[in-house]
Amino acid sequence: MQSLLLIVTSIACTASLSAQQAISLFNGKDLTGWTGAAYEVKDGILISRGKNLISEKSYRNYVFEFEFLLPPHGNNGLGIHYPGSGGPSSAGMELQILDNSHPKYAKLKDTQYHGSIYKLKAAKRGFLKPVGKWNRQKVTVKGPRIIVELNGAIITEANLDELEKKNPRHKGVKRRSGHICFCGHGAAVKLRNITILELPD
């Protein structure tokens, strides 16, 4: 009887989650819902023109999806669990958005390439589309677990509890909630179709 109850409860929870809808975090017209840097909106596309563009709301468990287009040697980042001040890669954590193919980045550390949790966890390479083509990325954050999917392939899987033990001086890896931000590093990286689905605790 107990096992049957667990199965029914599990099915109910799954059905409830699947019924939820992701919401858009970019309306294609302006920076409603965001604060910070002077990113530009043009023809329904968000273009990096400044430093950190920060979500007004703070998030804990969620599925965040977006599309991005890199120019040659393009460099940006997706900040998660960001407290709103300080460097996103240290006060929070930064998932690299980077043109891995450019010679400028040939000698980076493994934890500095696209999809990596900057200086904490290396991502698999070889799944980025050529420069000038749109990529789709999905980031799942659930408690200490982070999964990054690029164009349908899982490139990063991390357990923050384990990373915290290996990097005790890193402030961001200790956090389990915060703002989402796009980290501008000077390149005109383009973004669109930005959505989030909040997950139950």
pLDDT tens for 68-114 read 999 999 999 999 999 999 999 999 999 999 999 999 999 999 999 99
User: What angle (nearest 5°) sits at the alpha carbon of residue 35, between those of residues 31 and 154?
Assistant: 80
Confidence category of residue 185, pLDDT binned at 50, 70, 90: confident
Specify the range with the lowest mean pLDDT, choosing from 8-12, 43-47, 132-136: 8-12
Confidence category of residue 7, pLDDT binned at 50, 70, 90: very low
Q: In angstroms, rounded to a whole number, what is the distance separating the alpha carbons of residues 176 and 143?
A: 7
Which pLDDT value is given to residue 17?
44
Which pLDDT value is given to residue 50?
75
Which pLDDT value is given to residue 51?
84
DSSP H helical ranges for the chain: 2-19, 88-91, 160-166
26 burial level (CB within 10 Å; 0-12, 13-18, 19+): buried
Which pLDDT value is given to residue 36?
83
Q: How many residues does the chain have?
A: 201
Q: Centre a 10 Å sphere on the Cβ of residue 178 and count the other Cβ atoms it contains.
A: 22
Confidence category of residue 49, pLDDT binned at 50, 70, 90: confident
Which pLDDT value is given to residue 199?
97
- Enter the tokens of residue 163: 């990373």
Average pLDDT over residues 26-34: 96
Confidence category of residue 201, pLDDT binned at 50, 70, 90: confident
Which pLDDT value is given to residue 186?
82
Q: Give yes or no for a contact between 116 and 95, defined as CB atoms under 8 angstroms apart.
A: yes
Which pLDDT value is given to residue 63?
98
Work out the mean pLDDT of the chain and round it to a whole number: 91
Q: Give just the sign of the alpha carbon dihedral 104, 156, 47, 177.
A: negative
